[in-house]
């Protein structure tokens, strides 16, 4: 029996963080699997940070990122590059992750080559095609092209079943983000970064902030930053640490609203290791990120989500995450409450981890081996 060729395709920071444990797991079976890593590099620096941390050297790097790239740029460049890679490699299955434009292009390119598609982090839905934009449709369209759906939770499995996906094609695995997080957060971790190493986490309340969603660009983000300015003015024991996304459309507004504000630290995107450990030591997280919404609850950190919808309802139901949107008054009021009302804070800060147990990547690789007849053991789903 010849070896199974499994190609992973990813391109942005979050995909890389969540696919790295899968790549490392695939590497454990050199007698059965030939792993091929293809990156579109829809992100450049933010992708390279993760590749470096997990010591992954891609076999193919399309290097497509351009400043101010449009959705059309990403889709067409990724499709053209992947066409050549797929023609040369002829994998048995292509694994894509999540909901970015790289994800959708990866699945579509594989389909055009009549190659099987495995979708990691399948089945999350808001039900609103423009929120998050374009991620909701990227994920849904990828699902339509997928042969094996690796749903992280029962909720995501349920979403797929409701859309008519055959149950036999869905495996509930847990989210690989928890695999990555468990391998990265360490109580003894020492920050190398000068600013982070100077912070006194016991006397100061650290609010960790990230923003990048396309639907929040411009005024919605401005309103959030104005609320934050009011918060630091009101609370002298609060410091904001804000690793600012590389997107110039984010950076410009951040600089205008929060540049030179006392106790607001605007820094470049952090490597995943310091970022995850900073999150573990923060008081509160404000974010529009998908991945951070999954990580912070596992670390017992309350999250105010700067969005109107979420495809990750599990931690909202558990009470660790609140959807607050981007209205200035609401963001201010909700942040203020968590700084002044210890009961409200305690109610949100109990660690809850509906997203995984650290074994998702193993389940994914075991499932592939089982499906293709390379193993007789069908893995138990994540409960």
Using CB under 6 A, list all residues that contact ligand UDP: 13-14, 17, 210, 212, 243, 269-270, 272, 275-276, 289-292, 295
292 binds, among ligand UD1, ligand UDP, none (CB under 5 to 8 A by kind): ligand UDP
Pick 248 or 259: Cβ nearer ligand UD1: 248
From the candidates 13, 97, 223, 245, which is the catalytic residue?
Answer: 245
Q: How many residues bind ligand UD1 (CB under 6 A)?
A: 24
Going by C-beta distance under 8 Å and a sequence separation of 6 or more, which residues neighbour residue 37?
7, 8, 23, 56, 57, 58, 59, 60
DSSP 8-class letter at 167: G
Residue 44 interacting entry, from ligand UDP, ligand UD1, none, C-beta within 5 to 8 Å by type: ligand UD1
- Which one of the spans 166-174, 218-226, 244-252, 334-342 is the region binding ligand UD1 (CB under 6 A)? 244-252
Using the rule CB under 6 A, is 175 a contact of ligand UD1?
A: no
Dist. CA 321–CA 49, nearest whole Å: 27
| 289 vs 349 by CB, closer to ligand UDP | 289
CA 73 to CA 50: how far, in whole Å? 23
* 310 touches ligand UD1 (CB under 6 A): no
Residue 105 vs residues 79, 137, 186: alpha-carbon distances, Å:
6, 12, 36
> Does 200 contact ligand UD1 by CB under 6 A?
no
Quote the tokens at residue 186. 């360490």
| 134 vs 156: CA distance, rounded Å | 18
Of the residues 15, 61, 121, 239, only one is catalytic, namely 121
Active site residue 186: no
Catalytic-residue membership of 99: yes
Cα of first residue to Cα of last residue in the chain, in angstroms, is 33
55's CB contacts (< 8 A; 6+ apart) are none
Phi-psi group of 6: left, alpha or beta (phi > 0 → left; psi -120 to 50 → alpha; rest → beta)? beta
DSSP 173-233: ---HHHHHHHTT--TT----SHHHHH--TTTSEEEEEE---GGGTTHHHHHHHHHHHHHHH
Nearest-CA neighbor of 326 among 216, 231, 244, 228? 216
Measured distance CA(361)–CA(326) in Å, rounded? 34
Q: Return the one option of ligand UDP, ligand UD1, none that residue 283 interacts with (CB less than 5 to 8 A, by type).
A: none
Only one of the segments 43-51, 159-167, 334-342, 356-364 lies at the binding site for ligand UD1 (rule: CB under 6 A); that segment is 43-51
Distance CA(328)–CA(224), nearest Å, equals: 6
For this structure, is 135 an active site residue? Answer: yes
- What is the per-residue binding string for ligand UD1 in 94-113, x denoting contact by CB under 6 A? -----xxx------------
Say whether residue 12 binds ligand UD1 (CB under 6 A): yes
For position 251 contacting ligand UD1 by CB under 6 A, the verdict is no
In the complex, what is the shortest distance from the CB of residue 243 to ligand UD1, in angstroms, rounded to a whole number? Answer: 11
Report in angstroms how near the CB of residue 9 gets to ligand UD1 at its nearest. Answer: 13
34, 59, 69, 89: residue in contact with ligand UD1 (rule CB under 6 A): 69
**Considering only residues 36, 46, 286, 331, which one is a binding residue for ligand UD1 as defined by CB under 6 A?**
46
Other CB atoms closer than 10 Å to residue 251's CB: what's the count? 14
> Is residue 59 flagged as an active site residue?
no
**Edge-to-edge order in the sheet of strand 116-120:** 60-61, 33-39, 4-10, 93-97, 116-120, 148-151, 170-172
Residues of this chain that bind ligand UD1 (CB under 6 A): 12-14, 42-46, 65, 67-69, 71, 74, 99-101, 134-135, 212, 214, 246-248
Catalytic machinery residues? 99, 121, 135, 212, 214, 245
């Amino acid at each position: 029996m010849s070896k199974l060729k499994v190609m992973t395709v990813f391109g942005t920071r979050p995909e890389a963080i969540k696919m790295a444990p899968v790549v490392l797991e695939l590497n454990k079976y050199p007698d059965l699997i030939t792993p091929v890593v293809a990156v579109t590099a829809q992100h450049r620096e933010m992708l390279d940070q993760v590749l470096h941390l997990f010591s992954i050297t891609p076999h193919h790097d399309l290097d497509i990122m351009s400043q101010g790239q449009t959705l059309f740029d990403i889709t067409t460049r990724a499709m053209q590059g992947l066409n050549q890679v797929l023609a040369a490699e002829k994998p048995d299955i292509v694994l894509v992750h999540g909901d970015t434009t790289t994800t959708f292009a990866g699945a579509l390119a594989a389909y055009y080559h009549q190659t099987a598609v495995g979708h990691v982090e399948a089945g999350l839905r808001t039900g609103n095609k423009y929120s998050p934009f374009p991620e909701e449709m990227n994920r849904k369209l990828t699902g339509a092209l997928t042969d094996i759906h690796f749903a992280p939770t029962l909720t995501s499995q349920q979403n797929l079943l409701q859309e008519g996906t055959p149950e036999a094609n869905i495996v509930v695995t847990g989210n690989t983000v928890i695999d990555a997080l468990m391998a990265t957060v360490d109580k003894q971790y020492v920050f190398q970064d000068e600013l982070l190493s100077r912070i006194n986490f016991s006397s100061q309340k650290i609010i960790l902030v990230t923003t990048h969603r396309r639907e929040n660009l411009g005024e919605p983000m401005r309103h959030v930053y104005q609320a934050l300015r009011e918060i630091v003015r009101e609370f002298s024991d609060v410091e904001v640490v804000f690793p600012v996304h590389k997107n110039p459309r984010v950076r410009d507004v951040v600089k205008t609203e929060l540049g030179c504000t006392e106790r607001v630290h605007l820094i470049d995107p952090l490597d995943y290791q310091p970022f995850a450990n900073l999150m573990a030591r923060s008081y509160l997280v404000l974010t529009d990120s998908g991945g951070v919404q999954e990580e912070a609850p596992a670390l017992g950190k309350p999250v105010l989500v700067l969005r109107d919808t979420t495809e990750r309802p599990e931690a909202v139901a558990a009470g660790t995450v609140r959807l607050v949107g981007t209205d200035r008054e609401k963001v201010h009021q909700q942040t203020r409450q968590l700084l002044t009302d210890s009961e409200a804070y305690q109610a949100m800060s109990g660690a809850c981890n509906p997203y995984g147990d650290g074994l998702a990547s193993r389940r994914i690789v075991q499932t592939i081996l089982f499906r293709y007849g390379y193993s007789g053991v069908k893995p138990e789903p994540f409960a």
